[in-house]
């Protein structure tokens, strides 16, 4: 694949990828707040007050997200929206990584792999800490 073609693919698809995930995340966040307001406004206020006193609720396990959404927990939709939002950079770097593999541009395969690894290590560091 010529370099110009690679650049064209990046310039066409990166904005589409960024915008799609961003819109999905924003829809989830707005939906989560509307659901919170409709079904659990007191719960929201309680959590807000707890946070203001320095009490964070703690880790939200990835595996529990789907289960809680099935249970109809409106607050989980908010958490899901935030997770989707943080996927924006991960998805973008993963897309570049695949493109560079396809093009056999091994220097950039290495560089994007390092960035991807950094993002994943970040998640692991956070989970452990």
Q: Determine if 66 is a binding residue for another protein (CB under 8 A).
A: no
Q: Determine if 47 is a binding residue for another protein (CB under 8 A).
A: yes
22, 88 in Cβ contact below 8 A?
yes
Q: Nearest 10 degrees: CA dihedral of 33, 38, 42, 44?
A: -10
Residue 61 dihedral angles phi and psi, to the nearest 5°: -70, 135
Residue 72 dihedral angles phi and psi, to the nearest 5°: 85, 25
93, 115 in Cβ contact below 8 A?
yes
d(CA 50, CA 115): 35
User: Tokens for 8?
Assistant: 């064209």
Q: Which of residues 6-25 bind another protein (CB under 8 A)?
A: 7, 10-12, 14-15, 18-19, 21-22, 25
Q: Which of residues 68-97 bind another protein (CB under 8 A)?
A: 75, 78-79, 81-83, 85-86, 88-90, 92-93, 96
One of 35, 94, 101, 119 touching another protein (CB under 8 A): 119
Q: Which residues bind another protein (CB under 8 A)?
A: 3, 7, 10-12, 14-15, 18-19, 21-22, 25-26, 29-30, 32-33, 36-37, 41-42, 44-45, 47-48, 51-52, 54, 56-60, 75, 78-79, 81-83, 85-86, 88-90, 92-93, 96, 107-108, 111-112, 114-115, 118-119, 121-127, 129
């Amino acid at each position: 694949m010529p370099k110009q073609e690679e650049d064209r693919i990046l310039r066409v698809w990166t904005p589409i990828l960024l915008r799609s995930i961003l819109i999905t995340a924003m829809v989830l966040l707005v939906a989560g707040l509307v659901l919170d307001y409709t079904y659990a406004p007191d719960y929201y206020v309680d959590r807000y007050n707890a946070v203001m006193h320095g009490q964070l609720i703690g880790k939200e396990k990835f595996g529990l997200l789907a289960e809680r959404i099935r249970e109809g927990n409106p607050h989980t939709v908010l958490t899901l929206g935030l997770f989707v939002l943080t996927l924006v950079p991960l998805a973008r770097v993963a897309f570049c990584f695949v493109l560079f593999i396809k093009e056999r541009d091994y220097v950039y395969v290495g560089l994007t792999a390092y960035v991807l690894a950094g993002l994943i290590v970040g998640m692991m560091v956070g989970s452990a800490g």
